[in-house]
Structure formats: C-alpha cells, structure tokens
C-alpha cells in the first residue's frame, strides 16, 4: 500500500481527509480517502458520476460525529485511480474494493452509494464483507436519464464533460452546484462539490486536458452501463435502505422504490432535490450504517 497523507478540511473545516492508495493485482492504482475516527465502524462511500474521493468532504463532519470511519475510493478512471482494462465492469469493482479493504484490514463494512455510485455499491454488496447497503439519491439500472441516453451517442459525454469542466473553471463553483440542487448552499458546501467535480475530471495524470478526457471516458463508460447492464440480484439477507428526494430531477425515484420493495428494504422519501437529500439526510445514512 502506498502510504501518504494529504490532509484536506471537511465542509466545516474541522475534519481532515487522509489520502492513500493501494496497488491492485493487475498493476493499477486505486486511490481513496479515509476520514473519521480510525477505530470507528467502517463505511465505504461510493461517489457519484462523475465524482472522486474528495466527495467525502460532504460527509466528513457527520462521520466524525457518528463515529464512522469513512473510506471513499476514486473509482477507476476518476481522480488519482488508474483507468480500468477493457471489459471491466461493476462486478469487477467488487474485487477492486475487496483488495482495498484487505489492505486496510477491514473485514466488515457498511456500503453507501450516492447517485451514480448506487449501482457500484449494489455490486459491492454481493460480498460477504458488506453489512448493510444504503442508497442516497441513487441511480438504479436500467436507467433512462439524460446521461444514460447521451452515453448511447458515440463520444458525446467524452466531449461534453471536458467542455463543461472548462466552462465551470471560468464560471466558478456555483455553476457546478447548480447541476445538483436549486437551493442556496453554504460557501463551504459549494467549494466541496466543485472540488469533487474538478478532481473527478482531473484524471490520474494530475489534471489537464488528458485528465479531463480520462474522467469523461469514465462518465461515458458508467452511464452506458447504467443504461444496458441490469442491477445485481443482491444478497437476500442484506439489510437495504434508501433515501430519495421527491424533487430529484437527476435520478428518478420509481426504479429505487421498485429495487427496495423487491428486496424487502425501506425507502424514505425526502422533500428535497438530488443534492438536497444528501445535505438533509447524510447523518441519518451514516447512523443507520453504523451498528448500535
């Protein structure tokens, strides 16, 4: 394991994200952040599409308060993680994540998937290491939202996201936040959301145009899989709970309700939009994932 630490403040400035990386068997690197008490109950947070390990900043203060050790990986192709090999899928993500958990000596962990991280959390939940699965404003395949439709057009997302990243760099963090919520949020939340977005499209080469293309390729790959690959069947014994906004225009609530009902889980609806649901219920999610 590549041991190094890069402290970054949480949303309220009092919690640091510890950065690290693990080498996978095929030579790739999987980067991640670790925050909250080191002896806290482990929870793996799956960022959105696009997203990065810096997404943890939005949960860092809640993790400290709830006694949760929060592990947030860059999925392959985002941030500092290497791109995946040809043919890599969500089921392969389960093996990548298992390698990370072994490196951190974590035998059991709760799983949370936000937005496009939902399908990857579902795939990881097939593992015996998973204790509970929480879905927050999650996409549930097969999806027919805007990104999934665009992913069917060759190179559409691969070209669109670098252009939007350039636009957001000029327009400022508010341009990024407006893609996820209509509400007014604090400057700290705005900075955290924008940092996560830009890091996602920065790529493993440390940024620049090549990194932006690499991150956009990951968006395209994931969005196409959401449209074409069915959701994993899931472990019948795994507790599942979802939180979803009634005003979420980014991810429809219907597929989430069907997924949860089919698996005997619980859906909590929230009078909020995509990001607003996270901001209102993030602490509830972590509290449920951590044992009493």
Q: How is 153-215 classified by DSSP, letter by letter?
A: STTHHHHHHHHHHHHHHHH-HHHHHTTT-SS---HHHHHHHHHHHHHHTTTTTTSHHHHHHHH
Phi and psi dihedrals of 166, rounded to 5? -65, -40
**Alpha-carbon distances, residue 254 vs 239, 244, 265, 267 (angstroms):** 20, 10, 14, 11
Confidence band of 279 (pLDDT split at 50, 70, 90)? very high
CA distance readout (Å), 76 to 92, 202, 219: 11, 13, 10
pLDDT, residue 130, reads 97
Selection from 122, 113, 120 nearest residue 259 by Cα: 122
Distance, in Å, from the CA atom of 189 to the CA atom of 157, rounded to the nearest integer, reads 26
DSSP annotation of 48 reads: -
pTM of the predicted model, to two decimals? 0.89
pLDDT band at 144, cuts 50/70/90? Answer: low
Overall average pLDDT of the 269-280 stretch: 98
Give 59-101 pLDDT, tens digit per residue. Answer: 999 999 999 999 999 999 999 999 999 999 999 999 999 999 9
pLDDT band of 106, cuts 50, 70, 90: very high
Q: Is 18-145+229-289 assigned to CATH 3.40.50.1820?
A: yes
Q: Which residues pair with 242 in a beta bridge?
A: 135, 267
Please identify which residue in the block is written with the tokens 């090999």.
85
Q: What is the pLDDT of residue 217?
A: 84
- Tell me: cis bond preceding 207? Omega within 30 of 0 counts: no
What is the DSSP pairing of strand 68-73 with strand 41-46?
Answer: parallel
Mean pLDDT, the chain, whole residue set: 86
**CB-based contacts of 166, cutoff 8 Å, min separation 6:** 212
Model confidence band, residue 3 (pLDDT cutoffs 50, 70, 90) = very low
CA atoms of 140 and 119, how far apart (whole Å): 6
Contact 222/116 with Cβ under 8 angstroms? yes
Structure tokens at 263: 């698996």
Segment 195-217 shows an average pLDDT of 68
Which strands make up the sheet holding 240-245, listed edge to edge? Answer: 18-23, 29-35, 68-73, 41-46, 109-114, 130-136, 240-245, 266-270
| Residue 164 predicted with pLDDT over 80 | no
Helix (H, G, I), strand (E, B) or coil at 28: coil
Strand 29-35 and strand 18-23: the pairing is antiparallel
Dihedral sign for Cα atoms in the order 37, 38, 39, 45: positive
Residue 45 has pLDDT above 90, yes or no: yes
Give the model's confidence band at 221: pLDDT under 50 very low, under 70 low, under 90 confident, else very high. Answer: confident
Q: How far is CA 202 from the centre of its chain?
A: 16
What single-letter DSSP state applies at residue 77? T
**What local confidence, expressed as pLDDT, does residue 292 receive?**
66
């Amino acid at each position: 394991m590549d041991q190094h630490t890069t402290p970054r403040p949480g949303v309220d400035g009092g919690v640091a994200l510890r950065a690290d990386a693990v080498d996978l068997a095929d030579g790739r690197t999987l980067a991640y952040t670790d925050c909250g008490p080191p002896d806290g109950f482990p929870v793996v947070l799956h960022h959105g599409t696009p997203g990065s390990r810096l997404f943890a900043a939005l949960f860092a203060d809640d993790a400290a308060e709830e006694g949760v050790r929060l592990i947030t990986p860059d999925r392959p192709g985002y941030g500092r993680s290497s791109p995946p090999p040809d043919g890599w899928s969500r089921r392969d993500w389960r093996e990548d994540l298992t390698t990370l958990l072994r490196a951190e000596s974590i035998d059991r962990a709760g799983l949370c998937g936000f937005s496009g991280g939902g399908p990857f959390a579902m795939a990881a939940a097939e593992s015996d290491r998973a204790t509970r699965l929480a879905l927050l404003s999650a996409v549930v395949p097969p999806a027919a939202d805007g990104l999934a439709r665009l992913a069917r057009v060759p190179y559409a997302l691969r070209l669109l996201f670098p252009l939007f990243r350039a636009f957001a760099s000029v327009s400022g963090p508010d341009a990024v936040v407006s893609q996820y919520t209509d509400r007014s949020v604090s400057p700290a939340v705005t900075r955290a959301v924008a940092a996560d977005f830009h890091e996602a499209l920065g790529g493993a080469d440390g940024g620049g145009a090549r990194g932006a293309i690499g991150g956009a390729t990951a968006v395209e790959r994931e969005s196409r899989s959401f449209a074409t690959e069915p959701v994993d069947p899931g472990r019948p014994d795994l507790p599942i709970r979802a939180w979803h906004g009634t005003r979420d225009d980014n991810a429809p609530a219907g597929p989430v309700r069907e997924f949860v009902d089919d698996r005997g889980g619980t859906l909590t609806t929230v009078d909020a939009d995509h990001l607003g649901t996270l901001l209102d219920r993030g602490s509830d999610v972590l509290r449920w994932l951590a044992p009493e």
